[in-house]
C-alpha cells in the first residue's frame, strides 16, 4: 500500500470516530465509552457500605456479657457461706495411733500416711493425781460457842408496843401490826387542807407525836407513803394525784426531820390512787383512801418478840 492510500485510510477512520453517536449533535464530542474523550470520562459507581463497624459492636457485646457472667459468679459466692466443718469430738483417752487418725480426720485428710504427727507414748495417758499434804488447820469452833458469841454482835431487840407508847398518838391514827412491819395510818383530813400539801396546825401536832414514837424504835427504817382517791386533780402545782400524794409524803417527812427523826431512816413515796384500801364509789371509801401511812420495817424474829396490839390499835388487815 502506498503512502497516499495509507493516509486516506487514516482519514476515513478519523471521520468514523468523529461521527456523533447516541444522539449527539454535530460538532459536539461524544462522551461515551467509544468517543474521542473516553479516557477523560469517569463512570459513576455506588460504593457498598462497609461492615467493619459490626465487628466492633460484636466485640463490645461479648465483653459486656463476659463481665456480667463474672459479676454473677462473685455474687453467688458471697451469698452462699461455706458450710461449717463437722466438729470432731474425742471421747475418752486415745493412744498415739488413734490420736493421729483423729487429727488427720480433723484436717480433712490433708496429711498423708507418712506425714502424721508423732505423739509420744507418754502423752497418751494422763498423769496420776498427786496428793499434796495440806497444812494443819485449826478445828472449827463448836456450834454452842458460835451461838454464845452471836448475841454480842446482834442488834438490840425490837421495843414492845408498850415501849413505843402508842397511847400518846391520840385519836385519828390507826396502828396495824404485821409480821414484818408496824404501820401508822393517818387520814389526810387530819393532816392537810383539801387539795393542798402543807400540814395544818392539827397535822403538825400529830406528826410531832409520831416523831416521838418513831424515835423510841431505835434504828428501824420508816417509809412515808402518800395516797389519794380516784378523783382527778389538775392545778398548776399538782397536775395529777401523783404530784399531790408525793408532795404530801414529802411534807410529812420534812416535819419528822424537824422533830428530831434521823433523815437516814426515812424515805417518801407517792402512790396516788394505785393502793386503795376501800372502794372509791362512795364518799366514805374515797375518804379512807386519802391517807398518809408511816410504815416501820422490822425483821420477822423481832416482830415475833413484840407483844400483841395494845388497846386502841387495829389488827393486821383492818382499816
Nearest-angstrom CA–CA distance, 57 and 204 = 102
Query: pTM of the prediction?
Result: 0.46
Tracing cell 374515797 back to the chain, one arrives at: 286
DSSP-derived letter for residue 314 is B
Work out whether strand 173-177 and strand 181-187 pair parallel, antiparallel, or are unpaired.
antiparallel
pLDDT of residue 240: 93
Q: What is the mean pLDDT of the chain?
A: 73
Residue positions counted in the chain? 319
Range in 74-88, 127-141, 244-258 the model is least confident about: 127-141
Nearest-angstrom CA–CA distance, 209 and 168 = 7
* pLDDT at residue 279 is higher than 50: yes
Of residues 103 and 251, the one with the higher pLDDT is 251
* pLDDT at residue 153 is higher than 50: no
User: What is the H or E stretch that residue 174 is in?
Assistant: strand 173-177
Question: What phi and psi values does residue 225 have, to the nearest 5 degrees?
Answer: -120, 130
Instruction: Give pLDDT tens digits for 4-55.
Output: 777 788 778 777 776 655 544 555 555 454 555 556 656 666 566 677 788 8
Of residues 56 and 16, the one with the higher pLDDT is 56
Burial degree of 104 (CB within 10 A; 0-12, 13-18, 19+): middle
Cell numbers at residue 162, please? 408498850
Domains of the chain, each with CATH number or no CATH: 161-305 (3.30.1330.60)
Amino acid at each position: 500500500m502506498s503512502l497516499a492510500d495509507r493516509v486516506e485510510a487514516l482519514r476515513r477512520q478519523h471521520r468514523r470516530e468523529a461521527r456523533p453517536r447516541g444522539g449527539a449533535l454535530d460538532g459536539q464530542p461524544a462522551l461515551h465509552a467509544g468517543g474521542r474523550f473516553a479516557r477523560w470520562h469517569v463512570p459513576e459507581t455506588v460504593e457498598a457500605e462497609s461492615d467493619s463497624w459490626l465487628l466492633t459492636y460484636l466485640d463490645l457485646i461479648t465483653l459486656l456479657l463476659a463481665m456480667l457472667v463474672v459479676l454473677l459468679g462473685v455474687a453467688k459466692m458471697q451469698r452462699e457461706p461455706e458450710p461449717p466443718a463437722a466438729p470432731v469430738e474425742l471421747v475418752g483417752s486415745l493412744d498415739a495411733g488413734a490420736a493421729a487418725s483423729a487429727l488427720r480426720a480433723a484436717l480433712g485428710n490433708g496429711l498423708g500416711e507418712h506425714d502424721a504427727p508423732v505423739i509420744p507414748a507418754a502423752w497418751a495417758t494422763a498423769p496420776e493425781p498427786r496428793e499434796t499434804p495440806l497444812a494443819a488447820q485449826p478445828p472449827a469452833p463448836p456450834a454452842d460457842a458460835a451461838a454464845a458469841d452471836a448475841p454480842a454482835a446482834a442488834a438490840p431487840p425490837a421495843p414492845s408496843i408498850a415501849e413505843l407508847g402508842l397511847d400518846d398518838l391520840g385519836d385519828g391514827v390507826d396502828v396495824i401490826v404485821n409480821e414484818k412491819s408496824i404501820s401508822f395510818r393517818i387520814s389526810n383530813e387530819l393532816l392537810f387542807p383539801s387539795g393542798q400539801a402543807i400540814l395544818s396546825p392539827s397535822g403538825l401536832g400529830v406528826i410531832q407525836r409520831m416523831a416521838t414514837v418513831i424515835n423510841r424504835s431505835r434504828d428501824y427504817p420508816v417509809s412515808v407513803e402518800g395516797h389519794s382517791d380516784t378523783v382527778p386533780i389538775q392545778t398548776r402545782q399538782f397536775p395529777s394525784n401523783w404530784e399531790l400524794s408525793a408532795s404530801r409524803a414529802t411534807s410529812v417527812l420534812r416535819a419528822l426531820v424537824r422533830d428530831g427523826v434521823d433523815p437516814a431512816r426515812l424515805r417518801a413515796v407517792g402512790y396516788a390512787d394505785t393502793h386503795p384500801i376501800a372502794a372509791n364509789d362512795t364518799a366514805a371509801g374515797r375518804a379512807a383512801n386519802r391517807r398518809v401511812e408511816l410504815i416501820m420495817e422490822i425483821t420477822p424474829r423481832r416482830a415475833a418478840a413484840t407483844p400483841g396490839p395494845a388497846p386502841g390499835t387495829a389488827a393486821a388487815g383492818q382499816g
